[in-house]
Structure 1
Amino acid sequence: MPTPLTTLLRDGRALATLAVPLALTQLAQVALTTTDTVVMGLMGTEALAGGGLALVVFNQLRTMGVGMVTAVGNQVSAASARADEDEHLTDEAREEVVDIVRAALALATLSGIVGAVVILLIGQAVAFLGQDPEVVETAWPVLLALAPGLIPCLWFQAIRQFTVGMRRPQALLRITLASVAVNAALNWGLIDGVWILPELGLPGIGVSTSLVYALTCLALHVSARRDPRLAPLLDVRMWKARPATLRRLTGLGLPIAATYGSEAGFFSVVALIIGTFGGAALAAHTAVNQLVYIVFQTAVGLSHAASLNVSRELALNRITAARRLKNTALACAVAVMAVVGVVYLTVPGLVLRPFLDPSAPEGNNATDIATKLLAVAAVLQFFDCAQNIGVGLLRGLDDTRSGFRITLVGYWLIGLPAAWLLGHLADLETVGVWLGLLTGLAATAVLLLRRYNQALSGRAAVKPAVA
């Protein structure tokens, strides 16, 4: 009879098999956008302002587009659970996976086209939202170059979800790491016209990013074609997708996309509130928020891995195992966040040094505020990780609507009022806003995990669970 610790370690290893490459892939993708930002900064303040505005618009639509195809991995994982004793998919399961892949690519194409149009419309509309006309003029050609790249970006995400759903994520990390190097080289070449490349200036960064998305999509497709288990299932004939499957994926994807958009909007509003306290406060918030965002990629990896495993366990009617997955994912999150929290509290100056220079104007004030925010972040990131895992667990149940509704309550009805009240009425300013942020994330985490427990209990009552 295995002990609880033995079971936890065994489940933890199984979870890490998916979570680690997914988390590292997420970190590599962060490095991709960071490279673009660094290069813009080297080109000057005007380039950083205009290019940064273009990236904000593009990343918002990209994030929501990724949400549209995120549930594909869960659907593939559930379908691929039906295999014979030699772990070969049954004919029915094989047909279902092929249809999901076709529908996923069709949904990615439609989402990419709509998203590209919206990006360009927003690029024209920001001129009427009080933005500096020169910044808008600088951003427009970058947006024109970025918008077409959304389609191959979402194709890549659809194939990515297929590979992780089939529990074959290994190639993802290699391809994403290579894309960072290729993007840096293309940025340099297209900005200055190096080698045989044209000299495009700032828009070259947008062209580079779009090309990298196309190349990574092609690389992942080729990699999957070389995998004997994936190749027979990767059918790119999206026009053959069943309308019912496309509708199902759209119904699952829309709430996820809305959740991603809502979360991004929530953090944007928080930044605007903190901006009213001055430049030093906003600089401190930006620095600590970026640190939390980097660490958050661990939570994303755990969330996706737990979500896929829940889909698989429920397809096999192993409700007890699905319940254990929640505890395993949370235990792994606590372990990682505890280590990071200790670093935040013991060497805050070292952690903040890459982002803030105490010798710069207002740098000392910003560093003092950021040090206090790190103490809040040491606690906040536990709840941030837990709420992301909660969203993933519910996605494993195909319950994407509950996740969206709960995050609306946690972010906007609890977190935002708490942030404003603690920041202004309690006179805690930036620290108060972050305490409000912590409150909203904690409430969201509790509600999401509670909903997951209720949903599993309901399933267990309908049919007997298998351990």
Structure 2
Amino acid sequence: MFQESRKLAALALPLALTQLAQVALTTTDTVMMGLLGTEALAAGGLAIVLFNQLRTMGVGLVTGLGNQVAAASARGGERSELRDLVRAGMALATLAGVAGALLMVGLGHLLAWLGQDPRVIELARPMLLALAPGLVPCLWFQVIRQFTVGMRRPKALVWITVVSIAVNAGLNWVLIHPFGLAGVGLATALVYLLSFLALYAITRRDPVLAPMLALDAWRVRPDRLRGLARLGVPIAATYGSEAGFFSVVALLMGSFGAAALAAHTAVNQLVYIVFQVSVGLSHAASISVSGEVAVAGYGSAARVGRTALVHGALVATVVAVVYLLLPDAVLSPFLDADPAALAVAADLLVVAAVLQYFDSAQNIGVGLLRGLDDTRSGFRMTLIGYWAVGLPAAWLLGHVAGAGPVGAWVGLLAGLAVTAFLLLVRFRRTLGERGGEAVRGAAR
């Protein structure tokens, strides 16, 4: 277990730091939006939810690139194969980024049909317009990231993590005064562009990676693009199912009023921070499982899964203790000026302390299945857990049972718990079946 922990941590740490950089952008944005008032925080939170929905699905489309690169590298694949994979990733990211940006602008005009406060909608639209262009460089960054992770050389990500946080904070401070919420969105979009350029420049200087770093997406081989899309579409659907679940819950919270939506935005952002650590563990475990399965190391793959889950639970425990012992210190940077929103957020934080265990487990479960090239099962499990269990529970507890925002979050917790259980059972069963097939094949 100790050896597995070291190997997993070596890959997961830079990935988790990169994820924390991503969430640091929206966390900084959330703090700055809180300075503009409760309505601005509610509107900005809604814009960020919609942006994260499309960004998450775009990231899902190219996430399989890391697994394909890892498998090709383990097999001793040639440079030309790896270059083709990177080209396919860039082509897919460009298409998804442009389509997502256009959709984001369109969503700004549909919010009135979703029961949101007119003033909140008015404030959210300019931020959506400012955020939209950042989606393309955000996904380009993810392509190079997946390539470096698949090659097990993700160290450059750490430096970009530190710098991007500081740059985002500075740009937020400069742009929020003349442009309001739109300035916050513009700052985030610029940071995505600068992060991509920085990662590209650093990767070009790596003698191992540079020969395979092909950004000429127009030369992509159609078969490579189709192969990556076949693997990526179910991942995007899985990520989209999860993000969509959270987006609909955000809309549900908005139906309780601006204070409830602001409280949800703040606590959800805190949960999102912890979620990024599990994302790092999920990606690292996924890449490790792909490598082990490629050489029939099914027992090692099972140990990778257990190690990732233990690490995720340890992080969740530490954070839960902080939530429960220091709720005012955790929430005051977001909601110090609004006692009503702060009171709701304090109740939600108690639910969040338990919820994040299941959130971490289901995220790691998706990564473990991806390591087995089983991306469709993850999507099916999320449909059951989130949409058949979680969303009805959130609605029933929140509105029908009268438990309000806390009831909606208990429903959110139930959806994550069921999803985590289904994913981990599926991983264990599939891994056991493949291991048994390998043994029977060797016997023959």
TM-score of the pair, normalised by structure 1: 0.85
Which residues of 2 match residues 215-254 of structure 1 at below 5 A?
Answer: 215-254=194-233
**Partner Cα separation in structure 1 for residue 342 and residue 169 of structure 2:** 32
Could you tell which deviates more after superposition, 341-350 or 92-101?
Answer: 341-350
**Partner Cα separation in structure 1 for residue 405 and residue 120 of structure 2:** 28
Which residues of 2 match residues 177-188 of structure 1 at below 5 A?
Answer: 177-188=162-173
Matched, 1:70 2:63: yes
**Partner Cα separation in structure 1 for residue 334 and residue 278 of structure 2:** 22
Task: Choose the corresponding residue for 1:333, options 312, 317, 320.
Answer: 312
3-state SS of 2:206 partner: coil
Matched, 1:316 2:291: no
The C-alpha deviation readout for 1:282-328, integer Å capped at 9, x for no partner, is 55544433322211111111111101111111112211111111111
3-state SS of 2:152 partner: coil
**Partner Cα separation in structure 2 for residue 209 and residue 422 of structure 1:** 35
CA contact (8 A) 1:79 1:315 kept: no
**Partner Cα separation in structure 1 for residue 8 and residue 114 of structure 2:** 45
Q: How many pairs were matched up?
A: 441
Alignment partner, residue 119 of structure 1: 104
Alignment partner, residue 235 of structure 2: 256
The C-alpha deviation readout for 1:116-142, integer Å capped at 9, x for no partner, is 221222233335556566655554444
Matched, 1:362 2:340: yes
Alignment partner, residue 171 of structure 1: 156
**Partner Cα separation in structure 2 for residue 401 and residue 331 of structure 1:** 25
Alignment partner, residue 17 of structure 2: 24
CA contact (8 A) 1:80 1:94 kept: no
The C-alpha deviation readout for 1:362-406, integer Å capped at 9, x for no partner, is 367436634xx51x3333222211111100101111111110110
3-state SS of 1:73 partner: helix
Task: Choose the corresponding residue for 2:52, options 56, 59, 80.
Answer: 59
**Partner Cα separation in structure 2 for residue 281 and residue 135 of structure 1:** 13
The C-alpha deviation readout for 1:351-370, integer Å capped at 9, x for no partner, is 4444444x954367436634
Alignment partner, residue 454 of structure 1: 429
CA contact (8 A) 2:18 2:157 kept: yes
Could you tell which deviates more after superposition, 388-397 or 273-282?
Answer: 273-282
**Partner Cα separation in structure 1 for residue 328 and residue 174 of structure 2:** 36
**Partner Cα separation in structure 1 for residue 225 and residue 126 of structure 2:** 34
Task: Choose the corresponding residue for 1:35, options 25, 28, 48.
Answer: 28
Q: Which residue identity does 1:253 align to in structure 2?
A: G
CA contact (8 A) 1:356 1:366 kept: no
CA contact (8 A) 2:394 2:412 kept: yes
Query: Is there any run of 5+ residues in structure 1 with no aligned partner, and where?
Result: 1-7, 83-89, 193-198
Alignment partner, residue 390 of structure 1: 365
Distance 1:67 1:364, change over 3 A: closer
**Partner Cα separation in structure 1 for residue 345 and residue 370 of structure 2:** 39
TM-score of the pair, normalised by structure 2: 0.89
**Partner Cα separation in structure 1 for residue 314 and residue 287 of structure 2:** 21
Alignment partner, residue 387 of structure 2: 412
Task: Choose the corresponding residue for 1:270, options 249, 252, 268.
Answer: 249
**Partner Cα separation in structure 1 for residue 344 and residue 38 of structure 2:** 20
3-state SS of 1:167 partner: coil
C-alpha displacement at 1:160, in angstroms? Answer: 0.7
More helix by share: 2
Distance 1:334 1:127, change over 3 A: closer
Alignment partner, residue 195 of structure 1: none
**Partner Cα separation in structure 2 for residue 284 and residue 12 of structure 1:** 36
3-state SS of 2:58 partner: helix
3-state SS of 1:463 partner: helix
Which residues of 2 match residues 69-148 of structure 1 at below 5 A?
Answer: 69-82=62-75, 90=76, 92-126=77-111, 129=114, 136=121, 138-148=123-133
Q: Which residue identity does 1:462 align to in structure 2?
A: E
Alignment partner, residue 87 of structure 1: none
Alignment partner, residue 196 of structure 1: none
CA contact (8 A) 2:45 2:262 kept: no
C-alpha displacement at 1:169, in angstroms? Answer: 1.2
C-alpha displacement at 1:206, in angstroms? Answer: 3.6
3-state SS of 2:86 partner: helix
Distance 1:241 1:351, change over 3 A: same
**Partner Cα separation in structure 2 for residue 134 and residue 428 of structure 1:** 26
**Partner Cα separation in structure 2 for residue 428 and residue 48 of structure 1:** 23
